Amino acid sequence: MKIKLIEETVSTNETVKQYLPEREDIVLSARRQTGGKGTKGRSFLSGEGGVYLSFLTFYENFPASRAFEIMAHAAVAVCRTAEAFGVTPSLKWANDVLAASRKLCGILVENSVKGDLLDYSIVGIGLNAENDVSSLGGIAVSLRELSSAPFTADTVRERLIVEYGKKTDFADYLRYHRYLGGRVRVVEGTRTYEAVARAILPDGRLEIEEGGTRRALSSAEIRLDFSSPGLNKK
């Protein structure tokens, strides 16, 4: 996999698309983004000191039905990177990486499908390393705030690329979801309710139990809210 580092771009996910005609795996990293993107159209603060990169990967005979594995793999790579610098991470379904109950990283995956197969994926990762996230009002955290280990954004980026290149499986992803078996608040359209988070299924859906009935939900349908006391407890 080729590695390319640039100083600044609007969005690494957008910029890496210029390499699509080459049909070669590449990771593109920028020291700053001026228009970083999160999930569901949200913006992502991307100042100096953070790690911002996109992995462009091409596939052969990879079923589109297994696309969730790509996001899960990226989340595990980020968690392992955080651990390497002395920080304990956790995952909030489906792909928010938290530390000290605050957001440490954002992951944005764009997949291209041909028929029943995945052609390529672009996995954008924005990891707070030594950048200042104080303007976000306490909802985000950086590795620098939580770690006493010596590091720079460059060393964090290098470690993340190494971890992304390692194999992972679904069990690796599951072990970072520390709230399973506990109560969560589910926001589903205009309805908000409490349920027990029972399991994450191999296709990425979350199985919940509400009033003795179990059902599986997709991330497109709902979000989890851990903000109230008494939730997220086994």
Q: Residues 129, 22: one domain?
A: yes
> What's the pTM value of the predicted model, to 2 decimals?
0.90
Number of domains into which the chain is organized: 2
Q: What is the pLDDT of residue 42?
A: 52
Token representation of residue 6:
């640039």
Bridge partners (DSSP) listed for residue 118: 113
Q: Render the burial of 193-216: b for 16+ CB within 10 Å, e for the rest.
A: eebbbebbeeebbbbbeeeeeeee
Question: To the nearest whole number, what is the mean pLDDT of the chain?
Answer: 90
> Using CA atoms, how far apart are residues 71 and 94, in angstroms rounded to an integer?
9
Q: Which domain holds residue 194?
A: 183-225
**Chain segment 15-31, per-residue pLDDT in tens:** 999 999 999 999 999 99
Helices 153-164 and 68-84 cross at an angle (nearest 10°) of 140
pLDDT score, position 188: 86
**Does residue 234 belong to any structural domain of this protein?**
no
Instruction: For residue 195, give the CATH number of its domain.
Output: 2.30.30
The tokens 């985000």 sit on which residue? 140
